[in-house]
Every structure is written in C-alpha cells, then in structure tokens.
Amino acid sequence: MKQPSRRARRIGTAITTPIAIVAAAAMVWQSSYAAFTGTTRNSGNSWSTGSVALTDDDAGSARFQATNLVPEATETKCIAVTANASVPGVVKAYAVNPMISAAGLENYIKVSVEYGTGATFGSCDNFVLGGTSIPQMSLTTLATYSNYANGAGNWPVVAGTQTRSYRITWKFDTAGLTQSQLDGLQGAQTGIDFQWELQSN
C-alpha cells in the first residue's frame, strides 16, 4: 500500500485538529445542559400593619366651662367621636388630668355619659339615645377610670369609618349637705378631661 506523502500528512493533521476542537466543544455544551429544569414564582408578597385613628368634633375647645355655679345647677352638651380604622377595634372612654380642689368640689359634681347618634359638638337636638356609657357618678369616682384597661362604654368598631355621639350631663349635686358644708364649697374649682381611645383587636 502506498504511504501518504509528507505533505498529505500535514494536510490531514491540519484538518483533524479543528474537528477535534469542535467535538470537544460539543461535549462541554452537552454536559452543561444535560439536566431538564423548571421554575415557578409567587411574586409581589408584602406585609403591612393596619391603622386606627380617633377624632372628635370639638375643634380643640373644652366641652364645659361652667362658672358661678349655684346648688343643683346642671347642664347637658354633646360631642361626636369618629373612628377611622382598617382593622376592627374597641373604643373606651376614661378620665385624665383630674383637678383636685381643697374643698372637695369634685365629690359633688356628678357626671353621666350616654351614647347614640345624631348629635354634634354644636347641638344635642338630634340626639337619638343608644345607651349609657357612664352612669351618673362624681368626678372623684370618674377619676378612677383612668386608663384604657378600666375604661367604660365599650364601643366595637369595624374596619371603615363610623361616628358615635355622646351626650354628657353634669349636675352640682348638693343634696344632704348642711349649710356649713355648702358654704365651704364657695369659690372652689375642679376639672377633668374626657378621653376616648381606640385599640385594635
């Protein structure tokens, strides 16, 4: 058999080398993508807290500024409280900032709070009674309802905006006092703040 010439052997080598390189590249590609894969994704997950807000329509004004009281004086006024929440919650009322008088006037100012609808800070004319939040009690007793935990008049609210009217009545109750005790209350001053608080469930 005739041996290939030296020139032919060089050509054959030159041709064989590129083929070997292509074959090696093919094997690398095949080994890199030898497995089937599949993926899926649940996108856009996030977490945010709910919110609760409570406002009233007093525009920063005191509900009562009673002066020159005489025995058995009384007064009734209203206020509207609005809850705006994205989660359910409960509104309670309690007292803060009690003012103690040396004469003990707070023992004789009796307060009651009723709830309902229709009334505003400006007028109780359209008040529709729903029930009683705080039965009549002295400011001294009311001051013991001093935080949300022991607050009165649970008002369950749902997500959204809702308004409840409150009708507050006070009376300077001097029944049973002697003339001397009554005279001892002259010139005395007392006070207390009503606070409503909404907490989510």
Give the pLDDT band (50/70/90) at residue 114. Answer: very high
CA-based torsion, 54, 89, 80, 140: positive or negative? negative
- Among residues 90, 86, 91, 92, which one has the least CA distance to residue 160? 86
DSSP codes of every residue in 60-117: T--S----S--TT-EEEEEEEEEEEESS-EEEEEEEEEEE--TT-GGGTEEEEEEEEE
Distances (CA, A) of 178 to 73, 78, 183, 185: 17, 33, 9, 11
* Mean pLDDT computed over 10-17: 32
Residue 51 neighbours by CB under 8 Å, 6+ apart: 85, 86, 87
Determine the pLDDT at residue 65.
Answer: 78
- Among residues 57, 82, 60, which one has the least CA distance to residue 198? 82
- Judged by DSSP in three states, 93 sits in strand
**Residue pLDDT, tens place only, 140-193:** 999 999 999 999 989 999 999 999 999 999 899 999 999 999 889 888 888 888
Determine the pLDDT at residue 57.
Answer: 86
**Residue pLDDT, tens place only, 28-77:** 444 455 676 556 566 666 565 556 678 888 877 767 778 888 889 898 98
Which residue type, as a one-letter code, is found at position 116? G
pTM for the full predicted model: 0.75
Determine the pLDDT at residue 25.
Answer: 40
Which domains are seen in the chain, by residue range? 52-60+68-200 (2.60.40)
